[in-house]
Structure 1
Amino acid sequence: MQSLDIGGTEHQIAVLLPSESYNALLAQARWRLALLLSFLLVLSIGSCYFLSKKYVEPIISDLQQLQSNPDAAPQSNLLEINQFFDFLQSKSQQQEEKLRQLSKERNAVQQQYGLAATRLKDAQSRQQAIAEQYKALEEQLHALKREMEQARQQMEQALQEKEQAQQQFNFAQTALDKVVAKKLQIIDHDSYKMFIDSLSTLTTKEKEIFDLYTQGLSTKDIIAQQQISENTLKYHNKNIYSKLGVKSRKELLQYIELMRNTR
């Protein structure tokens, strides 16, 4: 049906066909549509197969290869796959470099830990040695304190003994002074003065024998020490008595004792 404008009036034109012709045309159109769809379907299947063989299967193969051997080159020549593989290899190299760096750092840390452990062990050994030395010093200090306490006690005892000895000495000196005073009362002062003044007149040998008398040696000891005979000693004694103004050995010894006590 088609519209037609005649003289300003719109008319509808329709062509009538027999039903057989219409059905034949309709069937022909359906066959053509079916053939077109079949062709398109076959073309689609062929295109899918071609694309699968050319692109999909190499991609799948490269992905499988990537799982089994990431370092191998891709089998397909696709730019995207090659770029993806290059990217993964670059990442893998970076990861390996990082792993090597981490391994170096770990080795360095282990070495530092070993050095630190060695230093700690040495420090502990030194600390133990210092502790032992400190303990030994403490023991020495305690022993020194005990010795100081003993020395203090001994010093106090010595001071007490010294004080007692001083008291005894003072007592003895007082008694001696009394004895000397009594002897001075008995002995003639002029004779004693002449005795003292005459000591310078003795010869060297006589002075040696006189000094031996002052030391308290006996006649026998003087003879042995001077290696002289008894007669020689008597001769020297006679000279000594004469020069010092004494009459006997007893008087000589009295003057010597008085001389020692009055010095």
Structure 2
Amino acid sequence: MMIHSPKLIKKVRRRMESTASAWSLRRKLFGYMLLLACLLILFLMTAFFLSGQYNTAEQEAYDALDMQMEVYEKYVLDHFDSIAAAGINLSKNATSSLEGYLEKNALSFADLTDNAETIAELQQLFLESLIQQLNQENCSGVYIMLDTTVNSRLEDAESSRACLYLQTNGYKSSYNPISMLYGNADIARANDMMPHRQWHLELDTRLFPSYEEFKRRTDEPAAATYRFTDLFVIPGTEMRVMLLCVPLVGENNRFYGLCGFEISESYFMSYYAQPTKVDYLTYLFTPGVDSVIDTEAGFSCGESDGYYRIPSGTLTAEGLENGLYRYTGSALSYVGISRSISLSPNNPLYTLSVLMRKSDFDRDKTTESLKTLLIWILIVAAAVCLCFYFSRKFLIPLLKSIERIKANDSLDEQTSIPEIDDLFAFLSEKDRQHSALVHTLSQEKQEMLAQHELLKSEHHAVTSEKEHLQTEYEKAQLELSRLAYSRKAEIDPDDYAHFLSGVKTLTLTERKVFDMYLAGMTVKEIAQASGIAESTVYYHNKNIYSKLGINSLKQLLRYAALMQQQEKEENLLQA
């Protein structure tokens, strides 16, 4: 039977002190709460990522550029479709006017060759319609070219064709001055119109690589044969333009020429400039679909409320994350997206690109990363502070109770923690039981001492009685020692029996180490005395503890002391 005493409380206190180097309750609770907070933060992060609420800098850039691309693509397709429809309508009206004029004047189309006066009358006939189309449509120019010439005897007469070509320059103002780039200059002056600085009478068909193809496909409707030219520089000027080409085809599939609209580089820059929150945004419109973009073969524009740097040379596209591409050029590098579109069934695909400067993208990415890092630092700091606060608030009553145990204060006072109150009640009850038992043993001891004195006084009187009393006295002493020792040691009999059986299984080396511990030697002294390393001593310790069923040197010494005491008592009895 185990005897409970005030040393039970001391044992609890020593146990607490022995684990002071380990994690305290406060640290453990703080660690568990912090782990829970980290798991919650991780769960929230995962939920944000899976729900798409948390976007990286790449994703935000892609979303912004994709939105701009949606608007840009719609503008381009709607604009070019509108221009194409207007061009087809212009072709029908011009063909009807031409055939009506020829029929009225009893002329054939071949009669127009070398007939400057008749060609001038036709251009005058077309002029009002072209001016109306120029003011009505979103374009920078309009033209009608007839497959004839005013002078077939000239050296380049085979490619020189009569043309009426009008341009406007006031793209965003109420005043739109119109100039004549090609056509009869007298008509321009008669209609208060200035000839262009680089005015020419006729247009060179070599600017239209598909001109001969138009002449061969007269059996097809204009909606199936219209096309857009590549960008080219108008001879004698620095203007880069793209022309819509719609054939003029009359009865019996007779080819009369071409008509259409012009979109100049400057007009494209003005018309397609868009409002945006992205700094220095650049829009490209280039022919072909390839990883290498020739910026000089297409148009470009920027934002409506700012400026941009016109790209030059080629840009090489390389894929990044989240659908973005990096476009590397000789002067500047960009980050953006591209899409391919079709303007007509007779043109190759075109590429639309929306680009932002890579330096701006890198800056935004760094800023976003710093913001994200700062947010998570604040979240973690808040979690740590809250964990510290709640762990401290929760453990203060418990820690105060433990301090009372350490200080041997009264355990009868109630706390606010039921578990601690139950523990204090248990310890108090054990303490009272122990006090009563000690008092009983003390009384028995006093009685035995009194009897001993009585027997001692009668020693000289009765020798035989003396021997009897001496024997009884020694038995009482042995019984008293056994009872006192058993109450003091509080050793479990089963554990002690396992210890005794384990001592017999120790090897010679382990027994030697065991005896040195009993002699009061430390690990370092044992290692020096045995000529072995300290790690070897710890290895033997592990085997000794395992065989004896103990877990500390203190427990080993306690059991060994009891074993030695029993051996001494057995030797005395045998003697």
Query: TM-score, normalized by length of structure 2?
Result: 0.15
Structure number having the greater helix percentage: 1
Q: Which has the larger radius of gyration?
A: 1
Q: TM-score, normalised by structure 1?
A: 0.32
Instruction: Give 1 or 2: higher strand fraction.
Output: 2
Tell me: higher relative CO, structure 1 or 2? Use CA pairs within 8 A at least 6 residues apart. Answer: 2
